[in-house]
Structure 1
């Protein structure tokens, strides 16, 4: 029998017995019992049996409204019928070939026709690969090696993109000149020397630091609304400062829209007035299968051109543009029309507004950020302006852990410390359920929230 997800009074255990048993088995074959560092556990992870629409069913038979959507990937939810049909048809014809297929041409045509500044694309297998090759493309085009990036912003598992991803108050340095910090033990010092770290929404800092390092910078990479950095809206002046300074100094602007392409029909850059030279894409463009893409200006993308011999930047990959990812992505993107995007943005407005009203009516020291089909709750009363503002205190982190637990106990998967995502199968009833569970959390945990001295 499917349980959970019926309302804030239908609490269930966070992790069922079969999930606990599966985790015990997993600890025998994985270093920490999981195959991804991003798997959430409290203290064990929840093992999934299947997904349907906006819901998950765990292996203990309990239903959960899914606000993770595999880290925002599943914009149409689970087992989306057009994708299932397209994949079934393709699987009967083959899963991968050394030769190209027309499905890759069709998906490329869709992206080039929809996303501004994308004259042509190259497909890879992950968002990490897309960022990796976009940075390499900027280097090949400019002949420079350094990159600039935002403090606390996630751009995948490429050394240069990971610099200052995990910066904390103990090591992030002067506000006017952020320190380059290593993401893992043993990261080469030379990598840190090749990166300029910027603060999100710091207009003057961006102008000064980009100008100071202009002769060495190949590109500046930014997510228009960094999820790990707080899912905070960019100030128009900040976008202008990035573009004007980059253009003046022949620095390429790389928009990382692997996560935020879902913010509008034409993507996040178009929503916020950013005009990039290169765009990285992933997640939603694969329909639930592995994918990444680099797109951009025709002259910049020429670095991949191998028609006359060895290109300036060779790029391959055994599974790049595989027909399963291409077919699934094409089916998903064709159904992600204006109507679908308007639907999930309307639900996002209901959720953000409802959470905001619940906070205001109770004078709770929390806030909510986000846009379109994304939202994130913060353990602070003032909306943060950048990654440093959004960095939770230990007390705030405890409150957020309690919030995630409460949501799970009430049949909702709420990501911990990341963006919550809305999918097209969700309804207004689902949106109101999210708001009701959040309000119930505030009412039942008021003493914890107040005693933790959450930042104001």
Structure 2
């Protein structure tokens, strides 16, 4: 099926077999998908296989993959060392009630590499990692409230979802953000137990953390929140969080489920944050389900069951399963400093190329990000926080057109997630991304001038 036929069928880039698969899926899933994060226009692209930095869909078409399963696949698809390690492990068994040495080896790697990680506990997802980190902070401090950044995503734990989808209609005053619910029926008590902070708001951090100091167990933050714009933290903001937390005996939880990929030692080390707990996931599993909580030895002791009942019980049938441990160990061993340096160069090449293309066309766009991550915004000025990055419906439509244009030209550029690069990508792949972006600017010059007003 060619592109014209796809367009005539109501979809600009989805093939016949994908449409047929979606029709089947609608008979067994509530909306035809098994994850709310699946992107469709109006149908999703169904994938048959992935090789290196490319996907092949069920219609046989090839796409450069900038989603990488939501930044997880830092080595791309079917990474040979992971495939080989998993093949060996499967022949020995997939899961056991007993521990295996592979979990020790992966924990040793993380403890030796990531500053402030003295001890580790493995779980199955990033959501679980954050959930247990919050519980650990509560158990350690004896306090119940947490503070979090407005618009930041930390998984599907009620307290962490507060103000995730805040809008101009409900997010409250600039100096005192309102805690907003994520879904209908969210208990009002949850909203009362979360203090919402604005990213890069130095004065607000000092004031709000000090005001609620006696009730706050932790401040939960992603050093570069993806969902709220992939915006760089100001050094003075990091310092303010650090100072206010230490002064008031509030723990700092650095959520690096996504952003651990920002460097050999992770994002906190990159930005000068010294957390008490770090949540990890995605890249540490080598493409298999995983999550981890790491941190100071005294804080992590809340999980200690050696003397009987722990302060905080944490289990899980598949936690530390040998498949995830083995795949993660193989992937992380190949993520040495050289690999991260190469990703840094590739990421800079893409962001610089996009900035140059924007400047040449005087397009009302900008780009944010770091390391192997980037985000394009329909704004003339780099946003400072979630509120500045928030898009009106017309601008949302423009960004969907960007995603559509990329797909039509052979690149999966996520709309609701962060584009990411992998070690399997080449300089030619990076140039391909920039070339397609430049093509979008030239093809949509009139639309850009009409919709994306300066801000």
* Counterpart residue number, 1:242: 241
Q: After TM superposition, give the deviation of residue 419 of structure 1 in Å.
A: 1.2
Q: After TM superposition, give the deviation of residue 380 of structure 1 in Å.
A: 0.5
* Counterpart residue number, 1:355: 354
CA distances 1:59-82 after superposition (whole Å, capped 9, x unpaired): 000000000000000000000000
Report if aligned partners of 1:393, 1:454 keep a CA contact under 8 Å in 2. no
SS in 2 for 1:421: coil
In 1: Cα distance, 2:453 partner to 2:313 partner: 50
Q: After TM superposition, give the deviation of residue 417 of structure 1 in Å.
A: 3.3
In 1: Cα distance, 2:453 partner to 2:25 partner: 36
* Counterpart residue number, 1:136: 135
* Counterpart residue number, 1:169: 168
In 2: Cα distance, 1:224 partner to 1:210 partner: 17
CA distances 1:225-274 after superposition (whole Å, capped 9, x unpaired): 00001000000000000010000000000000000000000000000000
In 2: Cα distance, 1:448 partner to 1:162 partner: 34
In 1: Cα distance, 2:432 partner to 2:69 partner: 21
* Counterpart residue number, 2:335: 336
Q: After TM superposition, give the deviation of residue 455 of structure 1 in Å.
A: 4.2
In 1: Cα distance, 2:178 partner to 2:305 partner: 39
* Count of residues in correspondence between the two structures: 448
SS in 2 for 1:157: coil
SS in 2 for 1:420: coil
Q: After TM superposition, give the deviation of residue 221 of structure 1 in Å.
A: 0.5
Report if aligned partners of 1:396, 1:454 keep a CA contact under 8 Å in 2. no
Give the 5 Å matches for 1:138-287.
138-287=137-286
Question: TM (normalized to structure 2)?
Answer: 0.97
* Counterpart residue number, 1:35: 34
Q: Which runs of 5+ in 2 are unaligned?
A: 4-10
2:94 pairs with 1:95: yes
* Counterpart residue number, 2:323: 324
Choose 340-349 or 290-299, whichever is displaced more. 340-349
In 2: Cα distance, 1:453 partner to 1:221 partner: 33
Report if aligned partners of 1:395, 1:454 keep a CA contact under 8 Å in 2. no
* Counterpart residue number, 2:447: 448
Report if aligned partners of 2:12, 2:404 keep a CA contact under 8 Å in 1. no
In 2: Cα distance, 1:418 partner to 1:64 partner: 17
In 1: Cα distance, 2:397 partner to 2:355 partner: 20
Question: TM (normalized to structure 1)?
Answer: 0.97
Q: Which runs of 5+ in 1 are unaligned?
A: 5-11
In 1: Cα distance, 2:417 partner to 2:68 partner: 12
Report if aligned partners of 1:393, 1:455 keep a CA contact under 8 Å in 2. no
In 1: Cα distance, 2:147 partner to 2:452 partner: 35
SS in 2 for 1:238: helix
CA-based RMSD: 1.2
Choose 441-450 or 323-332, whichever is displaced more. 441-450
Report if aligned partners of 2:379, 2:452 keep a CA contact under 8 Å in 1. no
Give the 5 Å matches for 1:12-51.
13-51=12-50
CA distances 1:187-211 after superposition (whole Å, capped 9, x unpaired): 0000001000000000000000000
Q: After TM superposition, give the deviation of residue 454 of structure 1 in Å.
A: 3.3
In 1: Cα distance, 2:44 partner to 2:215 partner: 44
* Counterpart residue number, 1:8: none
Report if aligned partners of 1:396, 1:455 keep a CA contact under 8 Å in 2. no
In 2: Cα distance, 1:200 partner to 1:66 partner: 30
In 1: Cα distance, 2:305 partner to 2:202 partner: 39
